[in-house]
């Protein structure tokens, strides 16, 4: 969900491997928080999350101390875990600097050498590793799971992002959740304007075109698979300006 040059990052990112213990953790606490502080259309009450910091921190601690066990967890359990890591820690990051107008405003507040954007802050502790949001998105989710629907599930706290689902992702229903998010994103006129004769679509499809073009696919074929309105073959794709204002209530 970042500026275009970030796309190159995951090509260079080394693969991060975790060997956790036991089964995947419950994400029920995150679901409770999301239902309490996120509207059905994805608007986030960041003040509410700040007031519920004890519960939010409890969930983040659960994620931190329960890294994926790649031998025992299903692939969907692992993917759901990392999507929740990205979204929950993004919320935490915003609450630490709130009130702000945009996640990008955090960049001007960072006083860490060689760290220039909020996506480069290594504030995410998973097991013995320190990660940033780029590591999670590009070094793990994009590299390991190779599913372009993740781009419609990861939410970087901005208006043009997909809406934040008001429930946690769960391995046993992940495919249904990702399909639902993808269809909702494509049908949302604030994020995509799709008809057979015209296609004004999110910059996400430009930034991550390589992910949608793999295995003989394309951005257009991906959209036509999930969108109620189908784009004709001869229609050129246009990309909408990205709104980085905070997705707050």
Strand (E) or helix (H) holding 59: helix 53-65
Range list of H helices, 98-228? 133-134, 174-187, 204-207, 209-212, 219-226
- Closest by CA to 53, choosing from 96, 106, 99, 112, is 96
pLDDT reading at 3 higher than 70: no
What pLDDT digit, counting tens, does each position of 158-200 carry?
Answer: 999 999 999 999 999 999 999 999 999 999 999 999 999 999 9
Strand (E) or helix (H) holding 130: strand 129-131
What pLDDT digit, counting tens, does each position of 20-48 carry?
Answer: 668 899 999 999 999 999 999 999 999 99
What pLDDT digit, counting tens, does each position of 99-140 carry?
Answer: 999 999 997 777 777 788 999 999 999 999 999 999 999 999
- Which residue reads 């693969």 in tokens? 15
Q: What is the pTM of this model?
A: 0.92
More confident residue, 115 or 237: 237
Report the distance separating Cα 237 and Cα 197, nearest Å.
Answer: 10
| Cis previous bond, 151, omega within 30 | no
Beta-carbon count within 10 A of 30 CB:
25
8 A C-beta contact, residue 44 and residue 248: yes
Question: Which pLDDT value is given to residue 11?
Answer: 40
CA dihedral sign, ordered 105, 161, 64, 116: negative
């Amino acid at each position: 969900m970042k500026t275009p040059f970030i796309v190159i990052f995951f090509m260079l990112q080394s693969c991060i491997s975790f060997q956790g213990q036991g089964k995947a953790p419950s994400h029920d606490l995150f679901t409770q928080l999301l239902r309490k502080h996120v509207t059905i259309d994805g608007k986030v009450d960041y003040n509410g999350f700040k007031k519920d910091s004890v519960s939010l921190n409890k969930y983040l601690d659960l994620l931190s101390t329960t890294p994926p066990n790649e031998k025992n967890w299903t692939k969907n359990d692992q993917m759901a875990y990392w999507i929740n890591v990205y979204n929950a820690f993004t919320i935490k990051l915003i609450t630490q600097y709130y009130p702000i107008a945009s996640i990008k405003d955090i960049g001007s507040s960072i006083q860490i050498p060689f760290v220039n954007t909020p996506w480069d802050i290594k504030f995410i502790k998973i097991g013995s590793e320190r990660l940033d949001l780029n590591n999670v998105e590009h070094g793990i989710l994009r590299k390991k799971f190779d599913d372009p629907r993740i781009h419609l599930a990861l939410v970087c706290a901005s208006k043009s992002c997909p809406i934040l689902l008001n429930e946690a992702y769960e391995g046993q229903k992940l495919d249904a959740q990702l399909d639902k998010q993808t269809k909702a994103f494509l049908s949302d006129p604030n994020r995509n304007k799709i008809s057979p004769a015209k296609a004004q679509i999110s910059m996400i499809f430009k930034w991550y075109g390589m992910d949608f073009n793999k295995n003989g696919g394309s951005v257009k074929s991906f959209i036509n698979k999930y969108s109620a309105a189908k784009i004709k073959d001869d229609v050129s794709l246009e990309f909408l300006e990205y709104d980085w204002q905070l997705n707050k209530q």
